[in-house]
Amino acid sequence: MAALLGEPERRSHLLIVNLRLPRALGAVAVGALLAVEGVLMRLVTGNPLAEPGLLGVSAGAALGVVASRGAGWAQFGVTLPGLIGALGNFALILYSSSSGQLDRVRLVLTGVIVGSVVSALTAGVLAITGLPLGAVLRWMVGSLNAVTAADLRSALIPAAVGVFLMAVALTTAAVLIAGAVAFLGLAAPEIARRLIRTTQPSLLIPSAAGVGAAILSLADVLAVRTTLAIPWSDAAVAGLPVGALVAPVCIPFILVALRGGRGKLAPRRKETAA
């Protein structure tokens, strides 16, 4: 606390205010954003396995940012390209999956297909443009290493787009801060639902936000303190991408949700009398 409120010129004060505090706030914000988005996706699609990765929103935001940087449009920052990529990709998925009415199962399947294609396009853009592959891949997996106060401010714009596009906007905000952190938007609502034993949105949304923030904050603390030795060389990687630690924690809960949601992805057909 003394370092936080001390003299601006002191090294400890600069370290906390410029590095530690933005990173901690970023972890809380991204975890909460992805968790709330996961709840909203469930409510909209009626599918317990709906999350930004499955619906291609994260892939669209990542493609927008990578394509903008590859084209040399750094003056646009990351907010506008990321939001355009996410909204454009989600609009494409909605258009491709609808045939007069919204089919929830087709929406998820189309999201998986389009998301895979967009991820392949992102890899192609990286190969063509010559962007720093290591830094970009770390960001796409999900990393809080370079989070600054400016990154947090840039995420306010997509987060305020509106309730109608809230799920897409929250995912974009999370991607702009920490990259494409996978599985958290799917697992956090499931964990929160089991903790509070209800699916009432007024209780589930804040609970999921708290769970998501806690998971990502803990994962980031572990990521900072982890050093990974590379077997075929004398080098070592200090500080893993936070997304690499989030996935192992979330996957068991995803499997539970998959087992519990069996038979719920499509309406049951009524039996007809013989």
Q: How confident is the model at residue 269 (pLDDT cuts 50, 70, 90)?
A: very low
177 in Cβ contact with 199 (< 8 Å): no
Lowest mean pLDDT among 122-126, 151-155, 238-242: 151-155
Tens digit of pLDDT for each residue in 79-108? 788 888 888 888 888 888 776 666 777 877
Question: Average pLDDT in the 40-49 region?
Answer: 72
Question: Average pLDDT in the 34-48 region?
Answer: 75
Q: For residue 272, what pLDDT is reported?
A: 44
**What is the share, in percent, of the chain residues with pLDDT greater than 90?**
0
Q: First vs last Cα of the chain: how many Å apart?
A: 75
Crossing angle of helices 104-129 and 133-141, in 10° steps, is 160
Q: For residue 133, what pLDDT is reported?
A: 67
- Whether residue 212 is predicted with pLDDT greater than 80 in this model: the reply is yes
Among 171, 215, 165, residue whose Cα is nearest residue 62: 171
Q: How confident is the model at residue 161 (pLDDT cuts 50, 70, 90)?
A: very low
Query: How many other C-beta atoms lie within 10 A of the C-beta of residue 188?
Result: 32
- Whether residue 273 is predicted with pLDDT greater than 70 in this model: the reply is no
- Whether residue 233 is predicted with pLDDT greater than 80 in this model: the reply is no
Those residues with Cβ within 8 angstroms of residue 168's Cβ, 6 or more apart along the chain or in another chain: 57, 86, 87, 90, 161
The Cα-based distances of 46 to 55, 90, 161, 218 in angstroms read 13, 17, 23, 30
Question: At 102, is the secondary structure helix, strand, or coil?
Answer: strand
- Whether residue 68 is predicted with pLDDT greater than 70 in this model: the reply is yes
Query: How many other C-beta atoms lie within 10 A of the C-beta of residue 26?
Result: 25
- Whether residue 172 is predicted with pLDDT greater than 70 in this model: the reply is yes
Question: At 98, is the secondary structure helix, strand, or coil?
Answer: strand
Domains annotated for the chain, with CATH where assigned, are: 2-260 (1.10.3470.10)
Q: For residue 225, what pLDDT is reported?
A: 80
- Whether residue 230 is predicted with pLDDT greater than 70 in this model: the reply is no
Q: Can you tell me the distance from the alpha carbon of 54 to that of 154, in angstroms, rounded to the nearest whole number?
A: 25
**Which of 32-41, 80-89, 137-146, 261-270 holds the top average pLDDT?**
80-89
Question: At 64, is the secondary structure helix, strand, or coil?
Answer: helix
Q: For residue 158, what pLDDT is reported?
A: 55
- Whether residue 239 is predicted with pLDDT greater than 80 in this model: the reply is no
Tens digit of pLDDT for each residue in 106-122? 877 888 888 889 888 88
